[in-house]
Structure 1
């Protein structure tokens, strides 16, 4: 009698290999068994056949007998050959339902013995210290109360390995094990040996002549490993990141006019110790091109190209930039929509002048295909409301389809900061002339809660509690609250902002704060509070206007007997509560400007306040900043000019809480209340503030020659300014003249995982004898 069986069980680390490999080996055993049986038959040899009156099935628990018979494919009383019997056995094995299969002919009875795969009791990952269990929960396909499958378990092994590879742990090993339990159940355990990060030991470039290796390394997302590798998270080798870096390099060069730039290859060499990579980018820079003649043509009847000429902002002679060209095209297409011209597209036609290295651009107005947006489908937003995402689209269902607008909308969705990943792709709708826009997002954490201590060189130690949420209740709203308490100050603030008020590009915000100081760098106490609702809206691409009303109140108490009579008079006026109105205007090209090497910021604020108090005033401040990058973008130069004035509207005197002060944020090298005017006739030299101030700051930031992955750069600065002007000088005993103060200094910038830090060391060049210096400070670096 022929004997067919295939044992798929195994133990320990070889469990899955045994389960996978025994099917093929058992097939060979079947053929040998059949051949052996046939060899005993007398000659001439004939193919062995079987006929079974009955099929007995043994070992089933969950699977119906009918299911097994359907895979076996042998009917009762049917004459079958050994080959057909073997085919039935192979179908049972291939079904993936059984851990062990035996097919045994016993005369006219066919016995089928099976052992079903066990049910999974528990799935666990052990040995994972760098990746939390929660990461694997949604990724693993093997789940409790499901039937164990070796193929699925092997997929899970690969999934775990890929998770570690994305973190640069290419040496991670995953070993699956099964632990058998009662009632045909097993525990599935994935044992992980994480290994060390496979670091990038060196990043180098071949073919770069215009920009140094050091400059290009700052562009890349991948960084070199160094002595601070415990703090650097981007020095691990991740193959997917290399592809991203290739695109980043291309964008960097093309934004600077190198239109033919390409990365010809990337080599990744494993170190001899097999714990690090040496990565080399082979690049071909090409020539730098500039814009030549910019002309606008119309191929649409009834559309005058001259009406669009003023809308494009490209200037001949500027370094070519794809972003600047895209911006010009977008302006022209938006102008066409404003004129009621649908389906107008702007086709850029470029003529190269290799000899003069210029690109002549023809912006041709053409009639695009008549395609309508059928609908916008949004998926993946479990928390964020659909309308928050839809607000970033300037098209709705039924509008003409504009690919450029869809790309811009995708960037606006990404810029919200609510999502870890965003994909916006169009596809054909229910008809050839309709398109469906698919928006697939992956949400990211948007809130933070901090509780801890703070330290200030001037205020000492204190407690800080802060909460913020950038996507409150999934509505895209911003809400924050903070409380800070030190030895001599207490601050509470709250802010709520709705960026799409009334469904428009209109931000509505409410701010309130309370602050108290107890002898904080002075010989008096203050209490102040404010409530300020406001609205803000864009004027154009770079400009924004805000309008506000507010109510505020201040109180000065506990003025020392040795303080200035001016402060005593402020205390005698008691608590002052008033209201006012104000505006803020800003023009900012630092982030979205057309020139990647330059940026400008202008801010103007104005208030008329004190209505209801004994002092009505007008206050205005202005700030202008400019930035440029030189020496192949390695050195950043910035200049800032800032000033303000305060004047009385009812001939009353301003109070110390109304006037301006100069601290290290405006004039480095001096303490927060360290700049006059002062009342030198009083024993206590309390700062009195001033009705006017003006400062100028010049700064250069540059690399220090340290590895870029440390995130450490240096800087030099020069500051100059003054604070002056009082309504009452106590008969001329207080000097409120505009005495010049100035300082020079050096800075260390450190981009750390907790935020960008800045260390300033200052040397005061010009000051008054009563000014208070502050030569060293540690601050959070503001990005320009």
Structure 2
């Protein structure tokens, strides 16, 4: 559900008391019962790394583990060892990490850190797309030649490609990845992109609207429009980000005409046939509001009359949320109330409106 409400907020704080469990006196084990023996502790005499050949990388793994010679640790599976494994995983260089003891002399042990490196990216290519898109995508895809490549990196790259083409109206884009391994634990990736056909918006329906018909609300949208035969050279593609902004514009349309409480209750996007989309948007219009009074606080440079003239909202007229924002902060033609202060050199001046509902139809 999408809710777009102006600056009326009701904060409800719920306090709870959690009762602590009653403590019971400690009891000695009964006859025949045994208590778990504490896990033994050892002193690290030496730390070795297996799974990588480069000496600098081995030293880097040891430093990242947080383990040091002379440190006392609990084995097996003590807290220090568990934290060391997590720290090495966090390097995002290895697909598997294990720590175990190799040699023991009394309480002194040699620890082995065994790692399995992720493959290194040799190169990646994008197939099935044109040159312009290829350059744009390479700026977005988080793959660097010579860097480790994890499965999550590949999946993220696939999703970036899909999102890129969904924004262009290709909602059914498929991405297949081919992996080619080579010596030295290197890997080359090929992303085969199939955009399928563009998906066009076949219908937009509004539910719950009584004050404005579907045509009025569709007209408030900027980029999300129904496909029509007379627009044969310009199919109406569906773009998710543009659609979200257009829903905001629908609410702005209501606010511009006094419907302060207007909301998008819910919306749905679904396929119509093989190559079309349908959109249903349910609105709650609420009451139409009128300006009851305008008061100013904290103003010492300009009197109320000057600020109210710049604001342009008079008592008794229909509330216009769009005009309120533009006349406070400036629009295309006017600098707004805030501009008056900036023109006087008050560059840090700020204006924060508080809108209160008075009765059933006044603000």
Do these two structures clear the TM 0.5 threshold for a shared fold by scoring above it? yes
CA separation of 1:127 and 1:261: change in aligned 2, threshold 3 A: same
C-alpha contact 1:237 1:277 (8 A) present in aligned 2: no
Residue 88 of structure 1 and its aligned partner are, at CA, apart by 9.3
C-alpha contact 2:85 2:97 (8 A) present in aligned 1: no
Residue 51 of structure 1 and its aligned partner are, at CA, apart by 10
1:97 maps to: 93
What does the per-residue CA deviation read over 1:301-323, in whole Å, with 9 as the maximum and x for residues that have no partner? 79765677766755666544234
CA separation of 1:204 and 1:305: change in aligned 2, threshold 3 A: closer
1:60 aligns with 2:52: yes
2:260 maps to: 259
C-alpha contact 2:121 2:149 (8 A) present in aligned 1: yes
In the alignment, the residues of structure 2 paired with residue 130 and residue 269 of structure 1 have an alpha-carbon distance, to the nearest angstrom, of 32
Equivalences for 1:410-421 in 2 at 5 Å? none
In the alignment, the residues of structure 1 paired with residue 98 and residue 244 of structure 2 have an alpha-carbon distance, to the nearest angstrom, of 51
CA separation of 1:210 and 1:122: change in aligned 2, threshold 3 A: same
What does the per-residue CA deviation read over 1:719-746, in whole Å, with 9 as the maximum and x for residues that have no partner? xxxxxxxxxxxxxxxxxxxxxxxxxxxx
CA separation of 1:264 and 1:131: change in aligned 2, threshold 3 A: farther
2:282 maps to: 282
In the alignment, the residues of structure 2 paired with residue 166 and residue 116 of structure 1 have an alpha-carbon distance, to the nearest angstrom, of 36
C-alpha contact 2:49 2:112 (8 A) present in aligned 1: yes
1:124 aligns with 2:120: no
Give unmatched runs, 5+ long, in structure 2. 1-37, 105-109, 329-334
Residue 276 of structure 1 and its aligned partner are, at CA, apart by 4.3
C-alpha contact 2:227 2:235 (8 A) present in aligned 1: no
In the alignment, the residues of structure 2 paired with residue 326 and residue 162 of structure 1 have an alpha-carbon distance, to the nearest angstrom, of 33
In the alignment, the residues of structure 2 paired with residue 298 and residue 113 of structure 1 have an alpha-carbon distance, to the nearest angstrom, of 67
Q: Secondary structure at the match of 2:196?
A: coil
1:322 maps to: 321
CA separation of 1:278 and 1:232: change in aligned 2, threshold 3 A: same
2:167 maps to: 166
C-alpha contact 2:61 2:88 (8 A) present in aligned 1: no
Aligned-pair Cα RMSD in Å: 5.0
Equivalences for 1:293-442 in 2 at 5 Å? 305=304, 319-325=318-324, 352=358, 354=360, 359=362
What does the per-residue CA deviation read over 1:629-660, in whole Å, with 9 as the maximum and x for residues that have no partner? xxxxxxxxxxxxxxxxxxxxxxxxxxxxxxxx
In the alignment, the residues of structure 1 paired with residue 265 and residue 327 of structure 2 have an alpha-carbon distance, to the nearest angstrom, of 31
C-alpha contact 1:199 1:235 (8 A) present in aligned 2: yes
Residue 131 of structure 1 and its aligned partner are, at CA, apart by 6.9
CA separation of 1:272 and 1:79: change in aligned 2, threshold 3 A: same
C-alpha contact 1:48 1:81 (8 A) present in aligned 2: yes
C-alpha contact 1:126 1:192 (8 A) present in aligned 2: yes
C-alpha contact 1:179 1:187 (8 A) present in aligned 2: yes
What does the per-residue CA deviation read over 1:420-448, in whole Å, with 9 as the maximum and x for residues that have no partner? xxxxxxxxxxxxxxxxxxxxxxxxxxxxx
1:752 maps to: none
CA separation of 1:210 and 1:131: change in aligned 2, threshold 3 A: farther
In the alignment, the residues of structure 2 paired with residue 297 and residue 72 of structure 1 have an alpha-carbon distance, to the nearest angstrom, of 60
What TM-score do the two structures reach when normalised by structure 1?
Answer: 0.32
Residue 205 of structure 1 and its aligned partner are, at CA, apart by 0.7
CA separation of 1:103 and 1:352: change in aligned 2, threshold 3 A: closer
In the alignment, the residues of structure 2 paired with residue 316 and residue 121 of structure 1 have an alpha-carbon distance, to the nearest angstrom, of 70
C-alpha contact 2:270 2:277 (8 A) present in aligned 1: yes
What TM-score do the two structures reach when normalised by structure 2?
Answer: 0.62
Residue 298 of structure 1 and its aligned partner are, at CA, apart by 8.0
CA separation of 1:81 and 1:201: change in aligned 2, threshold 3 A: same
In the alignment, the residues of structure 1 paired with residue 295 and residue 44 of structure 2 have an alpha-carbon distance, to the nearest angstrom, of 87
Give unmatched runs, 5+ long, in structure 1. 1-45, 361-784
In the alignment, the residues of structure 1 paired with residue 350 and residue 82 of structure 2 have an alpha-carbon distance, to the nearest angstrom, of 65
Residue 204 of structure 1 and its aligned partner are, at CA, apart by 0.1
1:196 maps to: 197
2:224 maps to: 222
Paired residues, number: 310
Q: Secondary structure at the match of 2:192?
A: strand
Equivalences for 1:14-25 in 2 at 5 Å? none
CA separation of 1:52 and 1:61: change in aligned 2, threshold 3 A: same
What does the per-residue CA deviation read over 1:185-223, in whole Å, with 9 as the maximum and x for residues that have no partner? 321333333333344332101122232212322222312
In the alignment, the residues of structure 1 paired with residue 290 and residue 206 of structure 2 have an alpha-carbon distance, to the nearest angstrom, of 25
Equivalences for 1:33-112 in 2 at 5 Å? 59-62=51-54, 63-69=56-62, 71=65, 73=67, 81-83=75-77, 90=85, 94=89, 96-98=92-94
C-alpha contact 1:260 1:287 (8 A) present in aligned 2: yes
In the alignment, the residues of structure 1 paired with residue 136 and residue 319 of structure 2 have an alpha-carbon distance, to the nearest angstrom, of 45
What does the per-residue CA deviation read over 1:158-210, in whole Å, with 9 as the maximum and x for residues that have no partner? 32232233334333233333312234432133333333334433210112223
Residue 249 of structure 1 and its aligned partner are, at CA, apart by 0.7
2:177 maps to: 176
What does the per-residue CA deviation read over 1:311-342, in whole Å, with 9 as the maximum and x for residues that have no partner? 67556665442344456657666667778999
CA separation of 1:182 and 1:281: change in aligned 2, threshold 3 A: same
What does the per-residue CA deviation read over 1:594-645, in whole Å, with 9 as the maximum and x for residues that have no partner? xxxxxxxxxxxxxxxxxxxxxxxxxxxxxxxxxxxxxxxxxxxxxxxxxxxx
C-alpha contact 1:201 1:225 (8 A) present in aligned 2: yes
CA separation of 1:253 and 1:102: change in aligned 2, threshold 3 A: closer
Q: Secondary structure at the match of 2:203?
A: strand
CA separation of 1:191 and 1:352: change in aligned 2, threshold 3 A: same
Q: Secondary structure at the match of 2:152?
A: helix
